[in-house]
Amino acid sequence: MLRSTVAFTISLLFSAALVSASETPTLEQSLSTKSVGGAEVSPDGKYVAYLVTQADWDENDFISQIWVAVTATGQTYQLTSGKKSSLSPKWSPDSKRLAFISDREGKRQIYLISPTGGEAAQVTTEENGVGAMTWSPSSDAIAYTSTGPDPKALKDRKEKYGDYVVIDGDYRMQHLWLLNLPADVPTNTKKLPKPKALTSGEELSVGAFAWSPDGKRIAFDATKDPDLGSQDTDQLYVLDLADLHVKKLLDGSGPNGRPQWSPDSKQIAYMTSNGQPFFFFANRYIATIPADGGTPQVLTTGFDEDAYLIDWGPDGIYFSAHEKTNAHIFRVDAQSKEVHRITGPNAYYAPDATFTQDHKTMAAVGAAPNQFTNILISPVSDFSPKYLTDMKSQYKDFHLGTREVVNWKSADGTTIEGILIKPFNYDPSRKYPLLVVIHGGPTGVDIPELSPDRYYPMEQFLAKGALILRPNYRGSAGYGAAFRALNVRNLGIGDYQDVISGVDSLIAKGMVDKAKVGCMGWSEGGYISAFATTFSDRFKAISVGAGISDWVTYYVNTDIHPFTRQYLKATPWDDPEIYKKTSPITYVNRAKTPTLIQQGDQDKRVPPPNSYELYQALKDRNVPVKLIFYKGFGHPINKPKQQLAVMQHNYEWFSKYIWGEEIPALPTEP
């Protein structure tokens, strides 16, 4: 049935597009496009390992494999293959081996492979798989995180009573493990040394970690348990490998994490909320602390944006951050606190980068405006990127929309930016239908790069003759801490004003047919879309993807309760009025707009009761509404066939209510 559905979809799109099929990618073609990420330069600078991800329709999965670029020649070749992904490539410090993680044998395990090819050797057999990993400075060991095997008591409980979960009680802590490796790893993992537990117990769950350059210690961050609501307990620790003694470096409120060692192994850099209780929307800073303990020094309080820690080199501490619709790599001096931007000109270089051992060369992913993300390598001192991949070549036969940054004033005078996407054959004398596509987060950000369509068939909408606006509404990253806080106790209301003022700005310019405006979004974008559907009659069609309809319903069901408490600065029991004011369901008696609701039926971040509540309320109001659950999926819909369905359902909905076209619907179950 799925194969016939794919064929059915393709035939619809060929017939529906206003331009020829050779000029616009079909939904299946867009989903089949390769993308790249995870650039890892070898310590000696000879290679860059990176990931190439592509849909495998037979397996119904997006499969990532490791590729290698030879930096001297630009030659690229595929290193891993198979029906399962190979992820997180990490070079040994001597540049002789790559470690990576794959679930090719079921659970996520660590494998080793030569950068020149050959068979990969599995080196772990963890019952519940591994989390993250890092090499020892001497290239003869790997530290990794894992919960370890299920304890006997838990196995006995399942055997006697079946499987059940005690909320806030049945935690499996992540711990550090050490695996020593011989120079030539055998393919038979039984010949490998048994991993050694470095941490244990029920007092903490390990997150990010880093090995000291002198090889004697491991710094890590840990929370009291793995619950997402425990982020404020995230603190720094140092493990002495000689006696496994663990020392806590910080007390007080967190999160404080993502440690990186100074080159002399005497200090540790880390990311900190700097004691701010409402850290979900506040800036994160880079700080340092002596590895033996002492007084922290916060370095980036003068830098008004989230700073994402990357590395500590001989000339400073590297981090990435957004700058409006751009993102860059920066370096801060640990003594003077002076911040210097490494990358340029304005483009999107983030969120990570890797460096050669001497920190003279870096590899990253980057995308200039109206370009696709590619793998690049560059000198650090004089940034001049050499691109090692060319993702846009896949679209050489297509005419894609063009992106540009626009801005407007919201109702309260706040300047809002967004990305306006125009059809390739844009005619300034015409008025176009307008579709607003709203990002999630709320601390996400839209940028003017090209990317394959996911969830929303934007290239198909452009081909039908539409403009697309992607607003960076208040709360978005890249515009400073004050801007990110503008939707605190103002969710939905301020967000909606940012969106509708952008619509009005384009209408005032004579670009938009105000009778043909729709909006859509996923997660926080779904919430803003739900707010628009109940609060406003300005839109002719709306799609709500995994959106919040009632903050009380969300709060008591979600897996991340602190989010709501921080943005609304109250629980529903403390301040029911703010929950009512910012909930779309409060305004449902105004609703008139035809609304499509989409969600994974196993979503824990925005649980399905939100969709049921909005659906039933709109249905009771006789508003045209359709609710679709994608079976087996959580918050993201991350398989190609179901993403194809998500896009086709949106294509049908907006074709009907914006263009007045009755597109044959996908088959439904009897």
Supply angle C-alpha 643, 647, 648, rounded to 5: 115
Percent of the chain with pLDDT over 90: 89
pLDDT tens across 566-605, in order?
999 999 999 999 999 999 999 999 999 999 999 999 999 9
Classify burial at 125, counting beta carbons within 10 Å of its beta carbon; exposed 0-12, middle 13-18, buried 19 or more.
Answer: middle
What residue type is 545 in one-letter code?
G
**Average predicted confidence (pLDDT) for the chain:** 93
Q: Please give the structure tokens belonging to residue 419.
A: 């990305």
Instruction: Give 236's strand partners.
Output: 221
- Domain-located, residue 275: no
60-64, 164-168, 371-375 — which is least confidently predicted?
164-168
Average pLDDT value for residue range 115-140: 95
**Beta strands in 368-473, from DSSP E residues, in sequence order:** 374-379, 386-387, 402-409, 415-422, 432-438, 467-472
Percent of the chain with pLDDT over 70: 95
Contacts of 136 by beta carbon, 8 Å cutoff, 6+ apart: 93, 142, 143, 211, 215
3-state secondary structure (DSSP) of residue 608:
coil
What residue type is 448 in one-letter code?
P
Residue 2 confidence (pLDDT): 33
- Domain-located, residue 552: yes
Rg (CA), the chain: 25
pLDDT tens across 402-458, in order?
999 999 999 999 999 999 999 999 999 999 999 999 999 999 999 999 999 999 999
Positive or negative, the CA dihedral 324, 330, 332, 338 is negative
Assess contact for 449 and 14: CB atoms under 8 A. Answer: no
Assess contact for 398 and 460: CB atoms under 8 A. Answer: no
Q: At what angle do helices 493-508 and 524-535 cross, to 10 degrees?
A: 70
Closest CA to 36 of 411, 504, 390: 390
DSSP characters over 519-548: EEEETHHHHHHHHHHHH-S--SEEEEES--
pLDDT band at 170 (very low <50, low <70, confident <90, very high): confident
The DSSP H or E segment spanning 366 is: strand 361-367
pLDDT band at 20 (very low <50, low <70, confident <90, very high): very low
φ and ψ of 81, to 5 deg: -155, 175
Q: Please give the structure tokens belonging to residue 308.
A: 């994402």
pLDDT band at 186 (very low <50, low <70, confident <90, very high): low
- CATH number of the domain at 422, please: 3.40.50.1820
- Domain-located, residue 588: yes
Average pLDDT value for residue range 153-174: 90
Instruction: Give 113's strand partners.
Output: 98
Q: Is the pLDDT of residue 19 over 60?
A: no
DSSP 22: G
φ and ψ of 113, to 5 deg: -150, 150
Q: Is the pLDDT of residue 17 over 70?
A: no
In the block, tokens 């509540």 appear at: 613
Distance CA 63, CA 82 (A): 9
φ and ψ of 616, to 5 deg: -65, -40
Domain that holds residue 563: 400-657
Contacts of 246 by beta carbon, 8 Å cutoff, 6+ apart: 199, 237, 238, 239, 240
Cβ density class 474-506: b for 16+ within 10 Å, e for less: bbbbbbbeebbbbbbebbbebbbbbbbbbbbbb
pLDDT tens across 33-85, in order?
999 999 999 999 999 999 999 999 999 999 999 999 999 999 999 999 999 99
Closest CA to 18 of 399, 487, 488: 399
CA 126 to chain centre: 26
3-state secondary structure (DSSP) of residue 315:
coil
Residue 187 confidence (pLDDT): 53
168-172, 384-388, 427-431, 439-443 — which is least confidently predicted?
168-172
pLDDT tens across 98-119, in order?
999 999 989 999 999 999 999 9
- Domain-located, residue 148: no
Cα dist from 363 to 131, 350, 393, 537, 555, whole Å: 24, 11, 21, 48, 41
pLDDT band at 189 (very low <50, low <70, confident <90, very high): low
Residue 6 confidence (pLDDT): 35
Contacts of 554 by beta carbon, 8 Å cutoff, 6+ apart: 548, 564, 606, 607, 610
Average pLDDT value for residue range 462-488: 97
Q: Is the pLDDT of residue 254 over 70?
A: yes
Residue 90 confidence (pLDDT): 98
Assess contact for 585 and 597: CB atoms under 8 A. Answer: no
Q: Into how many domains does the chain fold?
A: 1
- Domain-located, residue 223: no
Distance CA 92, CA 400 (A): 41
Query: How big is the chain, counted in residues?
Result: 670
- Domain-located, residue 526: yes
- Domain-located, residue 460: yes
